Structure 1
Amino acid sequence: MGVPTEGEPIQIHSYKHNGHIHRIWDETTVLKGTQNLVIGGNDRTVVTESDGRTWVTREPAICYFHSQHWFNVIGMLREDGIYYYCNLSSPFIFDGEAVKYIDYDLDIKVFPDMTFHLLDEDEYERHRQIMNYPSAIDQILKANVNQLICWIRQKKGPFAPDFIDTWYERYLTYRHG
């Protein structure tokens, strides 16, 4: 597994458990890249859905991927504060062109006041049966939901008070530097 180069644009590829592509983010600037961690920034990037439809993100976002955790976190900078969208997913890999992971349906949306909602439990249950998620993966994902909730409550990792703002400042230096 390679390491993405800081300042370079990469894509983000989200897959489903059955191997089908789910979503592609066209361009994200690497802000930090190691074997275990990728932090990226993007703004108004084109997103392509599995059916070919495209849309453009509305606000700047900082993306956090870790090779040891079964989730990734996107912090979106909006006028009324930072909103987080957390995907329960496989740990990422980087293959030289894109950060890739398997999206496992469950999501946690976190609001600027740090309240949160677990989303898509019905979709998870449906896909778990259709795609035959192994029970080990089901257990890992449920444990990672709990870990993610602890991180949110403790304001740890990407939820730390200055995390998104600090990385957004770095993103702006690449973007306008």
Structure 2
Amino acid sequence: MVPKVGEVIYIQSYKHDGSLHRTWSSGTVLDVDDEKVVLITYKTWVVESDGRRWFTREPAICFYYFDRWYNVISMIRNKGVYYYCNLASPNVFDGEALKNIDYDLDVKVFPDGKCILLDEDEFLVHQKKMNYPSEIIEIVTEEKDRLMWLAKTKGYPFDDEIIHDYFDKYFSVKEFK
């Protein structure tokens, strides 16, 4: 089961222990194929595991993969496109929501191409606390390296033109709803 272009879906991210990590109240599907769902979150409520709520103020084109251990959120800002990438399980769409398990590590990519790894300490703590299997630790570490290489070489989807094309598509999808 996959969502349809133009459909507005709910997004849920969990932790390895099954606890809810973060939710997005809506994402409009811009593209879908066998590998991924591309959607936009714009003026969307986000709820954190501690109950904190915040509202996204900028458009973000999000790439959620069915076979990769990461997702990419590209935020369109005045100073350029910023990419925030979560190391997470491949996504599933069950008709209720697009779902994944967050594995702590994050990669942030700035408009100038600078790429930084975040939350290594959290990844180490949660490995022990939530008993991550060694296979998952290995996969997440390998996918982190793959993701950082893609970001540094501007591989898909790290291309501002692609992001702006999807943002333009949002307006035509929105018109036909």
Partner of 1:117: 116
- Determine if the alignment matches structure 1 residue 97 to structure 2 residue 112: no
Residue by residue, what CA displacement relative to the aligned partner does 1:127-151 show, whole Å, maximum 9, x if unpaired? 1110000111000001001100111
- The amino acid of 2:95's aligned partner reads G
- Determine if the alignment matches structure 1 residue 134 to structure 2 residue 133: yes
- Determine if the alignment matches structure 1 residue 27 to structure 2 residue 26: yes
Alpha-carbon deviation of 1:166?
A: 0.8
CA distance in 2, matches of 1:21, 1:156: 31
Q: Is the 8 A contact 1:4 1:34 kept in 2?
A: no
Gaps of 5+ in 2: none
- The amino acid of 2:51's aligned partner reads G
Alpha-carbon deviation of 1:171?
A: 1.1
Partner of 2:85: 86
Residue by residue, what CA displacement relative to the aligned partner does 1:10-41 show, whole Å, maximum 9, x if unpaired? 01100000011100000100011233210001
Give me the TM-score of the superposition, normalised by structure 2.
0.96
- The amino acid of 2:147's aligned partner reads L
Partner of 2:41: 42
Give me the TM-score of the superposition, normalised by structure 1.
0.96
Partner of 1:68: 67
CA distance in 2, matches of 1:9, 1:52: 23
Q: Is the 8 A contact 1:155 1:161 kept in 2?
A: no
Q: Is the 8 A contact 1:59 1:78 kept in 2?
A: yes
CA distance in 1, matches of 2:158, 2:126: 29
CA distance in 1, matches of 2:156, 2:98: 19
Higher mean alpha-carbon deviation, 161-170 vs 138-147, is at: 161-170
Identity %: 48
Please tell me the root mean square deviation across aligned C-alpha atoms, in Å.
Answer: 1.1
